[in-house]
Amino acid sequence: MRKKHETFVFFTINDSPKFKTTLKTSVVSQITSAAQLLQPSGQSFVAVNVAFSQSGLSKLGVTDDLKDATFTGGQSADATNLGDPGTVNWVGAFKDRKSMHGVLLVASDTQKSIDAQMQSLRTAFGSSMSILYTLPGRIRSGRYAGHEHFGFLDGIGQPAISGWDISPRRGQQVVTPGIILAGEPGDTVRGRPLWTKDGSFLAFRQLKQLVPEFEAFIDVKAPAVDGLTAHESKDLFAARMVGRWKSGTPVDLAPLRDNPAIGADSNRNNDFTFLHGDNALTFNSDQSRCPFHAHIRKTRPRADLPSPLNAIMRCGIPYGGEVTSGETRAKTSSPDIRLERGLAFVAYQSNLANGFQFLQKAWANNPNFITNKTVAPGFDPIIGANHGGQRFISGWDLKNTSSTTTLQSDFVVSRGGEYFFSPSISALRDVIAA
């Protein structure tokens, strides 16, 4: 299923017995299975899922230890650990951990279908729950379809799950099912309740993207490159920060100019490791192709550090509208919350400490990762965070790749989130709603 729209509805439970009864008699049958999602459909299709926070499970009387301290503690307690400047920029609903009990995820090819499904769910649950916050997401339209708000093709670096994906594409990371699903082969955690099998921990983050500020930084800071026009140099600078051109083509395969044919080819756009025959002897110093700080290199280091245990399944979607003419002129994002744009980040994994939390804290936010390089790589310039403080990157100037430059502000601002557990349909029916 290729979703065009998805709405996230965060809720609090008012009446646990009534909520559980409704869940069992009216809602479980509407939950979409993984098998259904994998089936191609030419007709309009609505997918429904529900996930619960630690507070939500406790509210429903589920007291089992899921053996994930990050989940148990909640994301508000993890904010500083993730590089946020506390919760000062967070949406109010995410700050109240005790009331944030769960999230309904409803996806479809039309917003009309989502609205109808949500009305049905609200009617079913009635007063047993209250909605705390709703975030509607949708893919960008026209030539921007599939691209996040900074303009880069997104969602092309997903891992393949062995036994599920019959024909992984060249260069696609292949992981055992237990990296994503609890209780499956490859899950490193022991002693979880049996009902958690085939469930997954969901990390949700609302990530505001400061698009005018990002573009202004590129305009001002892009170094001139011999043989390239000023416009081409700017495009290259932005591509090196991400690690891909806007077409999805990796800079590791197209180091000076975009080759959109590679980005459009699913058997080529991930078929690289950062290691080449011509740089094997200088692998720890050569930033002429992909800088060490590049977003896709920091979050999946490939030959730098093969890391199947840290894989996540990303299922996010953009939210908000396009940049307005006023924002373009001002080179600044509007303070009007109605004009906010960004990414509704969703990641599934069987272990939050190995998955999302590790990628954010140990890799994206760590200026010394990737390790064993001759110069400190700096922060991931896209999602790396330093509690709102200054960051730096090296490898930004092709004429002197050992030099560093300062990023005076963040281009992505966390608006908060929560950690949830997404149970299997049988667990929903037999344990959560029992």
Tokens of 179: 């990296």
- For residues 195 and 427, is the Cβ–Cβ distance under 8 A? yes
In Å, what is the CA distance from 52 to each residue of 57, 121, 202?
A: 6, 16, 9
At position 231, the amino acid (one-letter code) is: H
Nearest 10 degrees: Cα torsion 314, 315, 318, 319: -120
3-state secondary structure of 24: helix
- For residues 405 and 390, is the Cβ–Cβ distance under 8 A? no
Estimate the crossing angle of helix 230-242 against helix 211-221, to 10 degrees.
120
Give the Cα separation of 39 and 165 in Å (integer). Answer: 13
Tokens of 77: 């307690």
Residue 235 known to be catalytic: no
The active-site residue, picked from 68, 78, 109, 154, is 154
Strand pairing partners for 102? 11, 52
- For residues 360 and 295, is the Cβ–Cβ distance under 8 A? no
Nearest alpha carbon to residue 252 among 291, 300, 307: 291
Tokens of 79: 């904010």
At CA 218, angle to CA 212 and CA 220, rounded to 5?
100
- DSSP sequence for 26-62: IIGGGPPPHHHHHS--SS--EEEEEEE-HHHHHHTT-
Count, residues in the chain: 434
Strand pairing partners for 42? none
Active site positions, annotated? 154
